[in-house]
Amino acid sequence: MIKKNNKTENPRNAATFVGNRPLHTLDLVGPDKKTLRQKYLIGEPCDCPSGTAQEMKSRGYVGIYLKSPVLFFRLPNSGRIIQKTW
């Protein structure tokens, strides 16, 4: 848990949700020679078209979140976009 402004906050709230994945697929090595555990934060599943968070959890799914989300800012009256990684 992260303590912010005298409130405890779940770390996944600060991260960007990617999707729900089955637990047994987290250690498969991808073409970049990394596993999902190495590339993403693992947490509780979220609601999705396949079911609610509780249903997904009971089926053996976990939530995948970006470790450092990328934010895009567009300057007013400009075509320029600023990309920020946390």
Dist. CA 13–CA 18, nearest whole Å: 12
Using the predicted structure, report yes or no on whether residue 13 has a pLDDT greater than 60. no
Backbone phi, psi, residue 43, to 5°: -155, -160
**Which pLDDT score, from 0 to 100, does residue 2 have?**
39
Dist. CA 72–CA 66, nearest whole Å: 15
Assign 86 a pLDDT band (cuts: 50, 70, 90): low
The string of pLDDT tens digits covering residues 31-79 is: 999 998 998 889 999 998 989 999 999 999 999 998 876 777 888 888 8
Instruction: Name the 3-class secondary structure at 80.
Output: coil
Assign 26 a pLDDT band (cuts: 50, 70, 90): very high
> What is the CB-side half-sphere exposure of residue 54 using CA atoms within 13 A?
0
